Structure 1
Amino acid sequence: MKRQHAIKPMANFAGAWRALFQSLSPAIREWAHSDGLVWLHLLKTVTAGLLALGSAMLLDLPQPRIAMTTVFVLMQPFSGMVLAKSFYRILGTAVGAVAALVLGALFVQQPELHMLGMIVWVSACIAAAVRYRHFRWYGFVLAGYTAALIGIPNVATPEGLFLAALTRAAEVGVGIVCSSAVSALIVPQRSGLALLQTLQVRYGNFTAFAADVLSRRVDRRAFERRFAQLVDEIVGFEATRIFAAFEDPAMRSRNHRLGRLNNEFMHACTRLHALHQLLKRSHGSDAAPIVRRIDPYLRELAALLSLQRDVSADGSHLATRLREFQATLPRRIRQTREQQGHASAEALADFDTASELLYRFVDEWTKYCDSYATLAQRKLSPRQETKNSYSSKTSSYAVAFTFIRSATVMGMAAWFWLATDWPSGGLGFIGAALACALTSIAPNAPKMAVQMALGAALGTLAGYVFTCYVYPNIDGFPLLCIVLSPVLALGAHLAACKRAAGLGVGFSVFFCLLAGPDNVVTFEPDLLVNNGIAVTASMLLTAIVLATVFPADMDWLIERIMNDLRAQAVLACRGQRPKLNQRFQSSTHDLASQLRALLARRSRRRRHALRWMLATLEVGHAVIDLRDEVAHAEYVQALHPRWSAAVDRVLDHLAQLFERPDARALERAVVSVRSAIWIAQDVLDAVRTGPDRRHDIQRILSCLHFIRTALLDNDAPFKQRYPTNVESATRAIFP
């Protein structure tokens, strides 16, 4: 009996504890998925930094602080990011070490020529980093400033250059191994899981957005803002897909699938935009009552998409419903069109084009749903495993601009060092190189450079305190870890904040680089302060030059990138047809994302760039469809001898419009499209008895009519910039 009485209080206590835990579990789970992840990242970063420091000391490397600095440059919340950066850092460090050796051998005890060669090399690496973005950017940046870190301190002592390169590579290697091990083994945060979660969120958000657009509940400004966000999501997805493949074999096996999924998402977005544009243009026109006849089908499709919001399926359910809707759509559209016997030819053309765009959007969205549903499958059909490449595009003017800007900043720092013979001038040059490299793709480079300068100043102050008052009063590695942990955690926390990322990077990197402990600690506070002043001054110099002499949003540079963006429409008109759609879509989205990063938010220039992107996507995609349909209907040339010449004239005049947009080019393009429409209508009358050929010509007419409406749109950027009464040239398009 006593034993039973003893067990009963224990059971009551266990039950009360379980109830308390269950009542707290929602709050704990919420904390674990928000602030808990931040604390986990700080813990892993500090652990990896101290592990690298201790390992480098144990290996008796001359500068263990370099290993600790490497950790703070490398650590990211997801293990895939760390592994990707580690891979490219190894390559960049190796190439940078070789470059330092070559420059040191070519310009022995010739500081002027050595500095000139170093400036050219580092600037070229930074320019290449801008050209090859994502984590390849990091490899090029490392190849640049690693050469500076190795070569600059050994300008006057070339005999120690080879040993310096080897020890620097060893110290960096220790930091890479420690950061990768800690990130992958201690509560790893898989970027693959984050990528799949991002796909799920994007799928649900776009389904809801498409339903709102089809229900005509989204105005023009709201649509443009949301579409711009979709562009950033498409480009950001490619970066995430690259580093997710580094950490997980399953993600590597799905890499082609994910690329195809992103490609199909781009197509679906473009189809939705085209349909929205046509519906917007028809609103308030004479054709509006006829185009409104398609609204029941739009509402039906919107209802199907709205149902998917509450279905936690993989997309196969919606794909099945969409295929059923698509199978009955042509017959129902024909029945609706037959009831509009007294409508004008232009109104019927609007109706036919809207119907064709609706059918194509359903087709693209069905393909996207099918691909989304196959993410959980291991084996796919050969068609589903087809490779879809994403073609990144960077303006050559932006690359050249980055080279000139970086060379100017580092040239000024090198000139000051050589002219004054300042002992810390070499570190000032290294600081300028680091600032140019790390801000090369920042949305606001001057702001980030100023933050890095402030971080370097704070790191110098903290290093002074540690050098004078902390290091002399502690003994042993455990106590060293205890006193370093709060400072390292503060730097990691600041670096993880978006608004203070530059401050955190500057503080963490330069505290470790200037005042990090070595195996043999030298107590030279004056040298520390001098080096800190050099680094801070060089970064402030970089910020001033970036803000005044070479601002990233210079009018001529933005205009050159805009020309590259418009050139994608020229590519659609003149490029080789195999995989043209993929190259056009990805490069256009890539350039548009770069423009959005350079231009200030909610500015007129940013809205203008967005509208050029929308016009380029709209016309370019329609031109590619037209070329595909014309290639499929080769028999049209035999039915009308002027057909091929008319199509070539349309493509040539559209290319000229986007190369040099002006009123005359716009009028020529409208007239050529009008002529092609006339010929296509004559051919349609000749093939009415053949259903297949009739459908081919109707699809061609829909493409031509859509291009015409895009050219005549009052909101089009070339129409707003070069107003002209081109409508007078199109009054007789429809007899």
Structure 2
Amino acid sequence: MNTTPPVSFGLTTPFAAALRVRTPAMKVDRDAILFSAKSFAAAMLAYYISLRIGLPKPFWAIVTVYIVSQTSAGASLSRGVYRFMGTFVGAIATVAIVPSFVNDPLLCSVVLASWIGLCLFFSLLDRTPRAYAFVLAGYTTSLIGFPSVADPGAVFDTASLRVQEISIGILCTVLVHRYVFPKPMTGQFTGKLLAILQDARRLARDALAGTPEENRYDRHQLSADLLALRGLATHLPYDPAAVTPPREALNLMHDRLARLLPLTAEIQDRINFLRIGEGDATNELTALVGEVQAWIAAGAAEDEAAAQLIAWARSLQKYLGSNPATSDERVEANLAGHLAEMIGLLADCARLGQCANSGRRPQTAISLHGSARAKGYVYHRDPWMAARAAMGAIIGILCGCAFWIWSAWPEGGMAVSILGVCCTLFGNFDAPAPFVVKYIVGTVFGVLTSLVYSFAILPQVTNFAGLVAVLAPAFLFAGSLQARPPTTFMAMGITLTIPILCGLGTHYTGDFAVSLNTVVALFVSVGFGAASMSLFQTFPSDIAINRLLRFSRRDVCRRALGDAPNEAHWMGLMIDRTALLLPKLKASGKASPDLLDDMLRYLRIGYAAGELRKRAPYAGREAGAALVELLFDVATGFGGRSAPTQAAIVDLEQRIDSLITLMAENSQKNGSRIVDLLIDLRFAFGSRGTPRGAS
């Protein structure tokens, strides 16, 4: 059998072999060069087709290729779909707005700016790659609408032509990235998934060893990794790979990894409190911990071994919890139950990982633990922050429109249209200005290159092949920059500037005065955009951090009162908030471990409080009343604008201890589970983590 892989488009095997990776650095360079070559080929193909069918501004097809192109085939297709949808909706909105309000320039400006702000608002609420469609709906209106104010009768033709030019660019991008050395998203996704599963096993192993400083970073980083994994998963339905991980398996795995994050903290607290391994704990419990460590080290993939360990842990939990003589024995029973849960989660993840790699849907009975119903990733959304950013964009655009109307600047329509693009394109950052600065640096390079092309090189070109040859160096260089995340925005400044300033149309149209006016409008608009976004669209990191923490405390209050989503939704939401908190803490320079630990503590308290609220009616009359009162006080402590005081926490801890004693004497059916949850709540408050015997 011939096992030689096929080579696309007749490219020779030696050339394919030359693309093989030797080192990680060479892989990055290889991928960047290949991406740049494919993007340039797609851009020239789109340009050629646009010229052949007589479109008046074919350079928009080139610009579209570089905006849509992504490093994987699936991401390029999904981005192309979202761009087309956004462009089409934006064009319709422009055709509806401009002719209706053109006789009142101020009102027309307000309506256009409001539409752009509304699109930005929805893009910030969506928080998935689909948000790009909202961004495009906004800045397409900006690009078409403001320049069309001077000639409103042609707005329909302009919008129609723009949709055609952009559609050609999208089509060429998708075809080239899909069929010329395609790079499937599935491979990147699978690699990330395997890395996360390895990190989860290491996190569990470190928790069993009781090493908080070693796994603190891993635990919080897992939140960011799950967010990145979700972003990659959004592109999977568009990927050309033969095997695509089923959504159900991915959602199930996310739920289990989300639960594993606080569970490892629970286990670590018990390990440190009981001083497992130092001779203070029950011998059989110490042996169980050792066996679980060995099972995890072996890969945590043997279902039979997992089932035996779970049975052992449950048996030990029942034995230790049946008639505990001391509070420490209750903690030992609680730890045994958590070990059983963690084993089940890890076994589930190993099995679900196999389903994801093979493309098989998980069976109904996949789970050794918990429910097989999947919730999946849950996004935190902040309408107030989104509205504030949208209002900032509207104010900035209206300020630009006011200057344009007041000065009667001939290039004002173009300047305001670019300003609208900046306000929407960079509006999803808390502090957009640094990214705009990178874009300006690329724009400077693009302007200088465009002037050289326009007045020194392009006048000498007499055919399309020659044009492709002279454009190749600049675009290949910019494309390689675009493939590298640190220089992506700089590359955008180059690839979006050269086609427009060079006027790559149906024939050479070099005019120094026009080019100079365009350059002035470009730098004025981008510079004003950076200043405007610094004033109106920049959010201090402290405000964003405090809002995330306040939202989390509010939801702890809601869960304690029984007015909150289920446990899977709660854990997913808190995982996302932790992932959002990580870069904000890095930007603010705050003591990130402490605030991240606060977020994890809120997750644990909210989980235990919500579960206790559901079981309160079954706790018996006296214990149930005491439990409801306790939860009400927990809600009161977390319902304010600040965290509960240390004195309030100490009081709650004392009441939890009393309630544990009362429930231990209760013969109700759910008594042992309520005791477990009360122990969880007690440890989540923090002070119970002191090892026994320590002063």
TM-score by length of 1: 0.84
| Cα distance change of structure 1 residues 30 and 446 upon mapping to structure 2, 3 Å threshold | closer
AA aligned opposite 2:143? L
Shift of 1:467: 0.9
Structure 2 match to 1:236:
228
Q: Structure 2 CA distance, aligned partners of 1:466 and 1:513?
A: 12
| Separation in structure 2 between the aligned mates of residue 25 and residue 509 of structure 1, nearest angstrom | 29
Q: How much does 1:532 deviate?
A: 2.1
3-state DSSP of counterpart to 1:604 = coil
> Larger deviation: 550-559 or 416-425?
550-559
Match of 1:477 in 2: 464
The correspondence of residues 538-557 of structure 1 with structure 2, limited to 5 A, is: 538-547=525-534, 550-557=537-544
Deviations 1:331-364 (A, max 9, x none): 34566789995xxx33333333323322222222
Give the aligned partner of residue 353 of structure 1.
334
Deviation at 1:251, TM superposition (A): 6.1
For each residue in 1:136-161, what CA deviation from the matched residue of structure 2 results, as whole angstroms up to 9, or x when unmatched? 12101000000111111110211000
Distance 1:612 1:298 in 2: 27
Deviating more after overlay: 321-330 vs 619-628: 619-628
Distance change in 2, residues 1:504/1:677 (3 Å): same
Preserved CA contact (<8 Å) 2:220 2:596:
yes
2:506 — aligned with what?
Answer: 519
**Structure 2-normalised TM-score?**
0.88
Q: Is the 8 A contact 1:101 1:161 kept in 2?
A: yes
DSSP-derived class of the 2:486 partner: coil
Q: 2:290 pairs with 279, 299, 310, which one?
A: 299
Which digits, 9 at most, give the CA deviation of each residue in 1:547-567, with x for residues without a partner? 456532254443223222333
The amino acid across from 1:304 in the alignment is: W
Aligned pairs for 1:688-703 within 5 A: 696-703=670-677
Specify the SS of the correspondent of 1:600.
helix
User: Is the Cα contact below 8 Å between 1:322 and 1:362 reproduced in 2?
Assistant: yes
How far apart, CA to CA, are the structure 2 residues paired with 1:406 and 1:537?
17
Q: CA deviation at 1:26?
A: 8.2
Could you tell me which residue of structure 2 aligns to residue 114 of structure 1? 108
Which amino acid in 2 is paired with 1:67? Answer: A
**Is residue 55 from structure 1 mapped to residue 49 from structure 2 by the alignment?**
yes
Identify unmatched segments of 5+ residues in structure 2: 1-13, 367-371, 691-695
Aligned to 2:251: 259
Displacement, 1:571? 4.1
> Please, which moves more after superposition, 704-713 or 604-613?
604-613
CA contact (8 A) 2:43 2:65 kept: yes
Greater radius of gyration (CA):
1
Partner of 2:181: 187
1:297-336 CA distances to partner (integer Å, 9 max, x unpaired)?
Answer: 323212211122xxxxxx6x33332222111123345667
Q: How does 1:141-540 map to 2 (within 5 A)?
A: 141-216=135-210, 218-220=211-213, 222-248=214-240, 254-280=246-272, 289-290=280-281, 294-308=285-299, 317-332=301-316, 345-375=326-356, 376=358, 378-382=360-364, 386-442=373-429, 444-540=431-527
SS of alignment partner, residue 234 of structure 2: helix
What's the counterpart of residue 585 of structure 1? 571
Answer yes or no: is the 8 Å Cα contact 1:154–1:160 preserved in 2. yes
- Which segment is superposed worse, 462-471 or 551-560? 551-560
Alignment map for 1:608-647 (pairs within 5 Å): 608-627=594-613, 630=615, 635-637=618-620, 641-647=621-627
Contact 1:680 1:697 in 2 (8 A): no
Between 382-391 and 449-458, the greater mean CA deviation after superposition: 382-391
Shift, 1:523, TM fit? 1.2
Quote the Cα distance in structure 1 between the aligned partners of 2:532 and 2:436.
10
Structure 1 unmatched runs, 5+: 1-19, 309-314, 688-692, 717-735
Contact 1:435 1:539 in 2 (8 A): yes
Q: Which amino acid aligns with 1:586?
A: G
Distance 1:105 1:647, change over 3 A: farther
Change (3 A) 1:567 1:454: same
Aligned to 1:722: none
- Checking the alignment, whether the CA contact within 8 Å between 2:186 and 2:241 is kept in structure 1 is no
- Mark the CA change 1:560 to 1:331 in structure 2 (over 3 Å): closer, same or farther: closer
Amino acid at match of 1:583: H
The answer to whether the 8 A contact 1:459-1:507 is kept is yes
Letter in 1 for 2:256: E
Tell me if structure 2 keeps the 8 A contact 1:109–1:155: no
* Conserved? CA contact 2:605–2:681, under 8 Å: yes
Tell whether the 8 Å contact from 1:211 to 1:303 is kept in structure 2 after alignment. no
Range moving further from structure 2, 198-207 or 535-544: 535-544
Query: Does the Cα contact within 8 Å between 2:561 and 2:631 map onto a contact in 1?
Result: yes
Give the direction of change, closer, same or farther, for the CA distance of 1:323–1:603 in structure 2 (3 Å limit): farther
**How far off its partner does 1:666 sit?**
6.1
Read off the aligned partner of 1:653 and give its amino acid letter: D
The residue correspondences of 1:9-88 to structure 2 (distance < 5 A) are 28=22, 33-88=27-82
Cα distance in 1, alignment partners of residues 441 and 153 from structure 2: 36
Please say if residues 326 and 362 of structure 1, whose CA atoms lie closer than 8 Å, have aligned partners that are also in contact.
yes
Percent identity, aligned pairs only, is 19
CA 1:288/1:303 → structure 2, altered by over 3 Å: closer, same or farther? Answer: closer
Distance, in Å, in 1 between the alignment partners of 2:597 and 2:52 is 59
- SS of equivalent residue, structure 1 residue 500: helix
Q: CA deviation at 1:39?
A: 1.6
The equivalences for 1:701-720 within 5 A come to 701-713=675-687
The 8 Å contact of residues 622 and 703 in structure 1, kept in 2 or not, is answered as yes
Q: Is residue 638 of structure 2 the alignment partner of residue 658 of structure 1? A: yes
Report the AA paired with residue 507 of structure 1. I
- Assess, with a 3 A threshold, how the Cα gap between structure 1 residues 338 and 108 changes in structure 2: closer, same or farther: closer
Moved more, 229-238 or 515-524: 515-524
Q: For 1:184 and 1:514, locate their aligned partners in 2 and report how far apart those are by CA, in whole Å.
A: 30
Supply the distance in 1 between the matched residues of 2:644 and 2:467 (Cα, whole angstroms). 74
Task: From the superposition, tell whether residues 60 and 715 of structure 1 become closer, same or farther in structure 2 (CA, over 3 Å).
Answer: farther
Q: Say whether the 8 Å CA contact 1:294–1:355 is kept in structure 2.
A: yes
**Counterparts of 2:610 and 2:487, CA distance in 1:** 44
Report the Cα distance in structure 2 between the residues aligned to 1:336 and 1:228, rounded to whole angstroms. Answer: 32
From 600, 604, 610, the equivalent of 2:586 is: 600
Q: Deviations over 1:145-190 (max 9, x none)?
A: 0011111111021100010110000001001100011111111111
Task: Go from structure 1 to structure 2 and tell me whether the alpha carbon gap of 1:392 and 1:459 turns closer, same or farther (over 3 Å shift).
Answer: same
Deviation readout 1:673-731 (Å, 9 max, x if unpaired): 654654554443343xxxxx66x422211211221232243999xxxxxxxxxxxxxxx
